Amino acid sequence: MHTLLSHPLYHEMAAQSASSTTLSHVSTRVEVQGIAAAIMAEATSTVAAGLTRTGWVTSWGIVLCLSGWWGWVGANPSSLGAGSSPSCPSINDSFSAETVPEFRTDIVHNEFIVKFSGFYEETARKNYINAALAAFDGHGYEIIERTNPMARYPSDFDVLSVADNIISQAIESLQSHPLIKSITPQRRVTRTLKEIPVAPESSESSHPCDNPPDPLCTQQTPWTKGRRSLNFGSSFWNSVGRHSSRRLLRAVPRQITAVLQADMMWEMGITGAGVKVAIFDTGLSKTHAHFRKIRERTNWTNEKTLDDGLGHGTFVAGVIASSSECLGFAPDAEIHVFRVFTNNQVSYTSWFLDAFNYAIMKKIHVLNLSIGGPDFNDLPFVDKVWELTANRVIMVSAIGNDGPLYGTLNNPADQMDVIGVGGINFDDQIARFSSRGMTTWELPTGYGRVKPDVVTYGSAVRGSNKDGGCRSLSGTSVASPVVAGAVSLLYSGVLHRGSVINPASMKQCLMSTARRLPGVGIFEQGAGKLDLIKAYQCLNSYTPQASLSPNYIDMTECQYFWPYCTQPLYYGAMPVIVNTTIFNGMSVSGKIVEQPVWHPYQPQNGELLEVAFTYSDVIWPWSGYLAVHITVKKDGANFDGLAQGHVSLTIESPMEEGDLIPRVSNIRLPIRAKVIPTPPRAKRVLWDQYHNLRYPSGYFPRDNLRMKNDPLDWNADHIHTNFKDMYMQLRASGFFVEVLGVPFTCFDASKYGTLMIVDAEEEYFPEEISKLKRDVDNGLSVIVFADWYNVSVMKKVKFYDENTRQWWIPETGGANVPALNELLSTWGIAFGDTVLEGDFTIGDHDMFYASGTGLVRFPMDGVVITPTTLKDQGHEVLGTPTSVEENPKMPILGLYQSQGTENGGRIAVYGDSNCIDNAHLSKDCWWLLDAILEYTSAAHMPSVFLDNAGVPVKPADALPQRMDGNLLHRYSKVLQSNIGDNQHSAKILPTCPHLKWVAAHPLNRTAPSNLYKAQRLLSLNIEAPLPPYHRQELLKKSDGIGFEVDDWIGAQDSRVFGIEDHLSWTMFWIFCLLCGVCYVSYKYCRTRFRLRRRKPRLPKLMPAFPGPRNI
């Protein structure tokens, strides 16, 4: 089983990128190869048809401290004009308010981003486009002029407007040009805030989310048994439990810098001087009293202002570099303000791409990006982030405010080369709003990486207010500038170390010195809480090297190594995958030499483990991955105990300046695992991950139609993400759960008692259907949790795509019911297309059905449960009235003993997965899951089902059909193409992957009892005392007198551009004065030293020569 990042195109393009990453300012062409373009092309090659379906390409909104859900609501795109969004309340409003955030994203009418393979001058880019579109003779398209600071420099993209009637042909022609890499639609994201005025705060020191919350504060949201508020979404204040028990409460500090001991570094003279920090946000006023080194402000929006109309950009800048009142970490750092969001909170893909290019050109050191979204397949954005870090820009980004749900990481914080930051409160607890790992890029065949990287304070942090004074805000977009400010401060203290400090070495020191929070999992805290002073000590003594995260694997260490520590290894199980991240502090590129080696420890039974590896062929930029696959040998089938060893690998990087040989770093990865005898078949459950699809890239809707503010299914449907609580329930009940990331044809059904198919959107190979029939006949039981499906409802919850004047309709419903019906047809079982919702009871158990489906075919000798209180939600969605008498009476739960053989398995089907899904969970049904498993694993029918059994189902004549013209084949691993009339052609069944288990190199040694304390970066002395203090009056310094601010508002700006810096007005007048002095001097010299003109001497000499004379 290979991870997504082992895609061959990744390695091919990474190798090219690693060897050709250069950047010039004006005249030199930039040759940074884009890896993302080629990797994503297979899944997103839909532009030729005129409809790019890569998901919301610019689903990037500011992850403001109050950012609740990240939702998209289909609406009339024309309503999103430049001034159509309600204005966001200013942070400094005189009253407080509860704030409800709303996001909307749409496609800009007929605009496309044309990405080139390199950086070219404007004229060259124009010529390339014109050459590609020569057939149109210059008609029907227009290159949109960009009036931002990058307009005069080489660029790697253009924005093109194309007429409706030539879109498909134009895109096809552009794709055929050898220097054009990709064409993606220009997208716009809009964020609005709605106010509900409430009474003012009682005091400044009161909790910012208490009586009442700040307009930009995380909301205190009602949760009832895990249900998210429909109004406020998924951003919440983390309660410290003061109403449930008596405890000592920590006071909220006035200065975040004091908590992290930044003042100790100030006293050493380290204040951020010499560091350029970029703030991508809503702008900043250059006259704000808190800042003394605003070096440059640039506007990338279509508004002619540089000031912050919202207050978020001011707050973020204050946390990083404020010099008075609410202090920032690096008050002497050069602030480069990038205004990328309008006052209506609108932004475009092209704005970010241009701004990123400008940041590279200005040689920015640290970049804070308090934005994010779930679309890790956003090709232009991901590619440009890689390019930024390859050019030594240290990017810090918020992981998102979608917690406490797992699998909710935002991009770009989930990228390996970016420092992803989570939030905690001042009681050192993970904030409820903070998103959790794992990453989901690698699913279904692999396993996610660890994120966040570090956590820090993000709740009730004080920062600069827009019009002066301070405010307290919360969210991961607050935690992100805390880390960005700390990184800027650290960077300024080690500038003398030169190229040793880079995105990888900075990240290594932040993570290796972080303080681990007790009782918190790795996917919640990453390496732990930021420790500023130890990070500084680490950077001072850092030796370039490679390292791993996590740097050891201990499957017995709970809670930190959840979920690995929750289930032991045993013979015959699917291999456990631990996906570690490689950080290469030696160079931007590198590689693993030969192959990692497994060293089992003989005294500690390490030889019972089998190990295989998949890993990055090229480590670029600054990072790669090592996936460790672990299982138990047959010799350990009856073993009960610990098995230990370590993996060794060598990273090699090219020579840097002054090196005589390539740089090499040797890494050791200790492994400890608990091994038990193989459990009985009845206790082994197999989770089908292969047939789950989600956003990105296709439009796969939420399973609960009530979730209008969060309609996309993007949490991966994994047992360790949104089905986390279900997994823990199964483990508590004594079941062992394994994950199937390959087709049904690739697992041995004789090992498992139950196969779980939950919320499946994928189709099935014919071979899978026939194999499952044989497996059930041989004793395998199957549990199916379906979801709603109705073609009319799918068409109702559509989005309008202005590129092709077509509606973007879901690829399936909540589940792919037609595919499930084909899978279950052997047993005469089928779901219908009635969308059901409502409360009901089964025995003494109260239940809630949230947008589910019912059974329309079921064997007569089976047991069905038929509630009488459910309503047809489809009528409500479609707007057709119904009466209580018309409410459907149809079964929702069916249990059947297969009759194919004497030892046949059992089948249980239920029409709604909401009650076991943490995403928008309404009311859990763990009792129902336990009862169903009692039936499938032990062949015992619980009495609650027999006592409440309904009448048999009258088979329906017609079954739900696939929607005509659906585009599921573009995202399917099974379908090849849509051939029309509800028919698809299937791909060839892939061969089953077989891991190559490495040969063991045993060692006669033992591992220390505590692997965590034994792991450290090489050659570091983080316990050394700090240098002597040189106390200065930091806060009494001048407010930047004589420090000129470069402002760029737009095309009407009359400033003159230079190669590096722009001429200031002072220089302009000096130049004029010098010109005047030169002119006056010239006139004076011409008048004072003018000589009389002499007569020519030739006529006087003529008489001396004989000859005729003319008289």
Residue 888: CATH number of its domain: 3.40.50.880
Tokens of 748: 């041995």
Question: pTM here?
Answer: 0.81
Helix segments in 462-569, DSSP class H: 476-493, 503-512, 522-525, 532-540
Helix segments in 576-692, DSSP class H: none
**How would residue 869 be classed by pLDDT, with cut points 50, 70 and 90?**
very high
Residue 630 pairs in a beta bridge with: 576, 611
Provide the pLDDT for residue 186.
Answer: 80
Whether residue 1 is contained in a domain is answered as no
Give the model confidence (pLDDT) of 943-961 as tens digits. Answer: 999 999 999 999 999 999 9
Span of 70-84, 259-273, 666-680, 966-980 with lowest mean pLDDT: 70-84
Please choose, from the candidates 386, 341, 338, 340, the residue with its C-alpha nearest in 3D space to the C-alpha of residue 364.
Answer: 338
For residue 73, which amino acid is it? V
Residue 142 pairs in a beta bridge with: 161
Provide the pLDDT for residue 646.
Answer: 98
Provide the pLDDT for residue 1025.
Answer: 66
Question: Ramachandran region of residue 981, left (φ > 0), alpha (ψ -120 to 50) or beta?
Answer: left
Provide the pLDDT for residue 77.
Answer: 32
Q: Is 281 a catalytic residue?
A: yes
Q: Mean of the pLDDT values across residues 1044-1071?
A: 61
Decide if 600 contacts 659 (C-beta within 8 A).
no
Provide the pLDDT for residue 888.
Answer: 87
Check pLDDT > 50 for residue 1058.
no
Q: Mean of the pLDDT values across residues 901-913?
A: 95
Angle, helices 724-732/926-938, rounded to nearest 10 degrees? 50
Helix segments in 176-269, DSSP class H: 256-259, 262-267
Q: How many domains does the chain have?
A: 1
Provide the pLDDT for residue 1102.
Answer: 56
Q: One of 67, 235, 477, 898 is an active-site residue; which one?
A: 477
Whether residue 713 is contained in a domain is answered as yes
Q: Which residues contact 444 (CB under 8 A, 6 or more apart)?
A: 689, 690, 692, 741
Decide if 972 contacts 763 (C-beta within 8 A).
yes
Residue 1106 backbone phi and psi in degrees, to 5: -75, 160
Give the model confidence (pLDDT) of 276-299 as tens digits. Answer: 999 999 999 999 999 999 999 999
Check pLDDT > 70 for residue 102.
no
Calpha distance 33→179 (Å, rounded): 12
DSSP 8-state symbol, 550? S
Q: Mean of the pLDDT values across residues 116-139?
A: 92
Start-to-end C-alpha separation, the chain: 116
Q: One of 281, 308, 383, 710 is an active-site residue; which one?
A: 281
Provide the pLDDT for residue 268.
Answer: 95
Whether residue 603 is contained in a domain is answered as no
Check pLDDT > 70 for residue 1031.
no
Please choose, from the candidates 270, 276, 244, 245, the residue with its C-alpha nearest in 3D space to the C-alpha of residue 257.
Answer: 270
Calpha distance 37→47 (Å, rounded): 13
DSSP 8-state symbol, 717? T
Decide if 787 contacts 717 (C-beta within 8 A).
no
DSSP 8-state symbol, 168? H
- 576-584 and 546-549: which strand pairing? antiparallel
Give the model confidence (pLDDT) of 801-824 as tens digits. Answer: 433 345 668 999 999 999 999 999
Question: Strand, coil or helix: what is 819?
Answer: helix
For residue 861, which amino acid is it? D
Q: Is 599 a catalytic residue?
A: no
**How would residue 720 be classed by pLDDT, with cut points 50, 70 and 90?**
very high
- Which carries the bigger pLDDT value, residue 26 or residue 355? 355
Question: Ramachandran region of residue 675, left (φ > 0), alpha (ψ -120 to 50) or beta?
Answer: beta
Calpha distance 23→202 (Å, rounded): 54
Q: Mean of the pLDDT values across residues 159-177?
A: 91
- Provide the mean pLDDT of the chain: 82
Q: Mean of the pLDDT values across residues 626-633?
A: 98
Q: One of 312, 629, 646, 718 is an active-site residue; which one?
A: 312
Calpha distance 670→498 (Å, rounded): 32
Give the model confidence (pLDDT) of 35-82 as tens digits. Answer: 334 433 333 333 333 333 333 333 344 444 333 333 333 333 333 333
Decide if 1022 contacts 513 (C-beta within 8 A).
yes
Whether residue 780 is contained in a domain is answered as yes
DSSP 8-state symbol, 1023? T
Check pLDDT > 70 for residue 235.
no
Calpha distance 506→493 (Å, rounded): 12
Residue 104 pairs in a beta bridge with: 190
Provide the pLDDT for residue 1030.
Answer: 41
- Which carries the bigger pLDDT value, residue 787 or residue 1027? 787
Provide the pLDDT for residue 932.
Answer: 98
Give the model confidence (pLDDT) of 488-508 as tens digits. Answer: 999 999 999 999 999 999 999
Provide the pLDDT for residue 567.
Answer: 98
Calpha distance 689→716 (Å, rounded): 9
For residue 802, which amino acid is it? E
Check pLDDT > 80 for residue 1062.
no
Q: Which residues contact 716 (CB under 8 A, 6 or more apart)?
A: 407, 440, 443, 692, 694, 722
Whether residue 894 is contained in a domain is answered as yes
Q: Mean of the pLDDT values across residues 548-555?
A: 97
Please choose, from the candidates 323, 423, 335, 555, the residue with its C-alpha nearest in 3D space to the C-alpha of residue 65.
Answer: 423
Q: Which domain holds residue 870?
A: 681-741+743-986
Q: Quick one: which H or E segment has residue 388?
A: helix 379-390
Q: Is 1046 a catalytic residue?
A: no
Whether residue 811 is contained in a domain is answered as yes
Whether residue 410 is contained in a domain is answered as no
Question: Strand, coil or helix: what is 977?
Answer: strand
For residue 770, which amino acid is it? S
Provide the pLDDT for residue 1106.
Answer: 56
Q: How far is CA 269 from CA 266, 330, 482, in A?
A: 5, 11, 20
Whether residue 818 is contained in a domain is answered as yes
With b meaning 16 or more CB within 10 Å and e meaning fewer, what string describes 949-973? bbeebeeeeebbebbeebbbbbbbb
Tokens of 522: 């790795």
**How would residue 85 be classed by pLDDT, with cut points 50, 70 and 90?**
very low
Provide the pLDDT for residue 901.
Answer: 86
